[in-house]
Amino acid sequence: MIQQIQKDFAPWFDKLSEEQLSKIVENQVSLNYNKGEILSKQGGFASHIIFLSDGLIKVYKEHNDKNLILKIVKPGEFIGLSSLYNKGIFDYSAASIDSSKVYSIQAEIVKYLIRNNSDFAEKIIGQLNQNTSQYFERIMSLTQKQLHGRIADAILHLSREIYESDTFNMLLTRRDLADFCGMSTESAIRILKEFHNDRIVNIDGKNMHVISYPLLERLSEVG
């Protein structure tokens, strides 16, 4: 167990003292979530930080029935960091879109680590900033591009950042994809079909294969 934690967190520490490791181990619980289960709810107390060890999580905001997926989180990343030193409230919900395994860590412990391990603090700032860059890209995609460009961006993101393959079983439903692209489900379906007919991607149900990255990039660029 301790070995597993040590391994999962390895990328986050150059040097993790015995004391720090044991503090993590003692103030953490390991949890499993099924597809569709909710990990945290927008507005709830952010007393803990989630570390995704296995699976896939969607982080989303709720507003008048409609959801917007802010980020798809893959293993090795934290969820809830943005609540640290903030309001202590989750400003988004998180749900599992696959069977997922997480460590839930007391926020106080993460703060302790930030104070006592400057290497960790730097890496946390690095991750926060990487997320921010990603949010900027999403803001541009969502606000400046039309449907085709947004779907192209989503497919490129899924293929390159999330699944790291040109062929993948996209666990997102059509509705999730629409919520990720800020459009209606019908529009997402229509454009996916268009892309399939135009041989930009090959889609069979949830299975997706990217045929032409250049075309997707072009669609992303022209918006």
Partner DNA sequence: GAAAATTTATGATTTACCTCAAATTTAGGT
Partner DNA sequence: ACCTAAATTTGAGGTAAATCATAAATTTTC
Question: Considering the complex, what minimum distance in angstroms separates the CB of residue 189 from DNA?
Answer: 4
DSSP code for 161: I
Positions in the binding site for a copy of itself (CB under 8 A) = 61, 63-64, 66, 68, 70, 81-87, 91-92, 111, 114-116, 118, 121-126, 128-133, 135-136, 138-140, 142-144, 182, 222-223
Decide which of DNA, a copy of itself, none touches 173; Cβ closer than 5 to 8 Å per partner kind: DNA
* Cα 2 → chain centroid: 26
Decide which of a copy of itself, DNA, none touches 61; Cβ closer than 5 to 8 Å per partner kind: a copy of itself
H-type alpha helices, 107-157: 107-116, 118-144, 147-157
Positions in the binding site for DNA (CB under 7 A) = 35, 146-148, 173-175, 182-187, 189-190, 192-193, 205-206
Minimum CB distance to DNA smaller for 160 or for 206: 206
Q: How far is Cα 175 from Cα 104, in angstroms, rounded to an integer?
A: 28
Q: How far is Cα 3 from Cα 6, in angstroms, rounded to an integer?
A: 5
Minimum CB distance to a copy of itself smaller for 9 or for 208: 9
Question: Considering the complex, what minimum distance in angstroms separates the CB of residue 181 from a copy of itself?
Answer: 9
Question: Considering the complex, what minimum distance in angstroms separates the CB of residue 168 from DNA?
Answer: 14
Question: Considering the complex, what minimum distance in angstroms separates the CB of residue 8 from DNA?
Answer: 28
Q: How far is Cα 125 from Cα 114, in angstroms, rounded to an integer?
A: 10
DSSP code for 105: E
Minimum CB distance to a copy of itself smaller for 2 or for 139: 139
Minimum CB distance to a copy of itself smaller for 48 or for 53: 48
Minimum CB distance to a copy of itself smaller for 143 or for 197: 143
Spell out a b/e string for 162-183, using b for 16 or more CB atoms within 10 Å of the CB, else e.
Answer: bbeeeebebbbeeebbbbbbbb
Residue 118: exposure state from Cβ atoms within 10 A (0-12, 13-18, ≥19): exposed
